[in-house]
Amino acid sequence: MRDYWLSKLFFDLQSPEAAARYLAGRDAVLERYPLKPEVRRAVQEEDVATLAPLVNPYLLRFFFLAIGKSEAWFLERIRATGSAAGKEVSGG
């Protein structure tokens, strides 16, 4: 199942201006989204494996690009998730 507000955060951060605001003050931006505590913590910790099952895979990738992670950084972590439970909702 998608986490709506996590998805909304990632969707909004596609804007370069929004991404810049996030990078300048992450917690202030996160305050505006009613994220569950464990989801917010996963965002703060940049925990790809925890976040992957909760959002559309394209938005997941957009987010980590938006916050400046390299492609290699992301690939290493997303590939490590193996056949995680998120496959059920992300296929197709």
Partner 1 sequence: MARLVGVFASSHAPLLARAWESVDASRRERISGTFAELGRRFSESRPDIVLVVSPDHWVNFFLSNLPSFCIGVGDAHDGPPEPWLKGVPYRSIAGHTGFALHLARSAFSKGFDPSLSHRLELDHGFIIPLWKMAIHPLPALVPLIVNSIEPPMPSARRCLAWGELIRVAIESYPEDSRIAVLATGGLSHSIGEHDMGRIDEDFDRECIEQFRSGDPEALLAFLDRRMESAGNGAAEVRNWLLAHGAARAQGFELIGYHPYPEWYVGCGFAAWALHGGAKVANAS
**Contact footprint for partner 1 (CB under 8 A):** 2, 4, 7-8, 11, 14, 16, 52, 56-62, 75, 78-84, 87, 89-92
Give residue for tokens 């989204």. Answer: 33
User: Residue 74 in contact with residue 64, Cβ under 8 Å?
Assistant: yes
Q: To the nearest whole angstrom, how small is the minimum distance from the Cβ of residue 34 to partner 1?
A: 15
Smallest distance from partner 1 to CB 40, Å: 19
Q: How far apart are alpha carbons 56 and 11 in whole angstroms?
A: 10
CB 32, min distance to partner 1, A: 16
| Nearest alpha carbon to residue 66 among 24, 7, 22, 3 | 22
| 23 secondary structure, DSSP code | H
- Residue closer to partner 1, measured from CB, 68 or 83: 83
Nearest approach, Cβ of residue 33 and partner 1 (Å): 13
Q: Which residue, 16 or 27, is less far from partner 1 as judged by CB? A: 16
Q: 33: number of CA atoms within 13 Å, CB side?
A: 24
Which C-beta is closer to partner 1: that of 4 or that of 25? 4
